[in-house]
Structure 1
Amino acid sequence: MIALQTQMIQMNLVTKKQAEDNEKMKLLAVKHTEDIRKLTEENERLLQKIEAGKTDIQTGRNRSIVHVKQCSKRNMNDGKEYGLLFSCDFVKNRDDTVLRVVWNGNLRLIHTGPKDGSARRWFFTINGKECRDPRTIDTQLHVSDSTSDNHRPAYVEGYCRGIPAGDVYVAWNVGDVVSGVGADQSKFNTGDSYTGWIATVRIIVEEVDVESSDTVIV
């Protein structure tokens, strides 16, 4: 009798263990199904981002690129202090998009003249005018050393609104640095500037549909 009871207890324990194992398998199956669902949703979101545009490497933001062009030149070696340095022709497809322009190269300035230093300004023009919406796209160097001959890497970029569709002339220029306002304006010494020393310089132009992305321009 005792042996029979022991056998029944053992059978009940086995049955209970099997039931617990079955329940664990059900829970694992549910979790596996949920994991697959989440992975599928994430893949769908990624595909939507890919369809909407591409991810900006620097900001991580999604920008819908309508059109892009790169113009490059090796060994520019331009020592002028005023005027056009390099240009890139572009065709803008739509009126409601903005332009993103990029300059990549190197710049140098050596001080000449009085003690207050020398300065030059490098800047983009689009169809012969500087961007005003929202701001100019430029950079400056100011030096007081007349012996240093350092060619500095330069990366300048910005967005410009209000450019109509059609042929666009994007140019990289050099000119004066002006301080003060109105009658108090004054120019810094010109100095000895140099652009693109033994290097490949680039202008990159992108037409960006900001309305279909999360790009904010202020």
Structure 2
Amino acid sequence: MNIRWIGNIRNIKTGGRPCSRWHIAFNGSECGNPARIDASIYSSLEGLDIHRPSILEGICYGLSTGIVNVQLYVGDCRNPAYRHGDSYTSWESVSRMIIEEIPLA
């Protein structure tokens, strides 16, 4: 499956070492074949409020047949030294998710 999410994201530093991570999951699990589909933002300047246009895109193989639920999540970065920041997804804009089945060769 080929997946593309388009929208804006932001993470504001409100103290500490904030980092937020956006990722796409299939039936509640991240892709492992060939890799995760994710993006992270670390904010180093206090109160900097920039909403960045962003694209998360990737391919995931080996999904089960039938209905597949595709979800966009935001949460903590993978490194536990960084805590979750004040995150927004698609503030004052339209988001799009494009999903394409890829036939097996």
TM-score (norm 1): 0.47
Alignment of 1:39-188 (within 5 A): 99-114=1-16, 117-179=17-79, 186-188=80-82
Gaps of 5+ in 2: none
RMSD: 1.1
Matches of 2:21 and 2:86, distance apart in 1: 12
Kept in 1, the 8 Å contact 2:14–2:47? The answer is no
- Name the structure with the higher helix share: 1
1:204 aligns with 2:98: yes
Structure 2 counterpart of 1:26? none
Q: CA deviation at 1:112?
A: 1.6
Kept in 1, the 8 Å contact 2:13–2:44? The answer is yes
Q: Please identify the structure whose Cα radius of gyration is greater.
A: 1
Matches of 2:58 and 2:81, distance apart in 1: 25
Q: CA deviation at 1:175?
A: 1.0
Q: Secondary structure at the match of 1:208?
A: coil
Higher RCO (C-alpha under 8 Å, 6+ residues apart) = 2
Q: How much identity, in percent, do the aligned residues show?
A: 39
CA offsets 1:113-137 (integer angstroms, 9 cap, x no match) = 22xx310000000011000001000
Q: Secondary structure at the match of 1:144?
A: coil
**Number of residue pairs the alignment of both structures matches:** 105
The amino acid of 2:61's aligned partner reads: R
Matches of 1:197 and 1:157, distance apart in 2: 20
CA offsets 1:157-181 (integer angstroms, 9 cap, x no match) = 00000012211100000111122xx
Q: CA deviation at 1:195?
A: 0.6
Kept in 2, the 8 Å contact 1:113–1:189? The answer is no
TM-score (norm 2): 0.94
Q: CA deviation at 1:145?
A: 1.0
Q: CA deviation at 1:203?
A: 1.1
- Name the structure with the higher strand share: 2
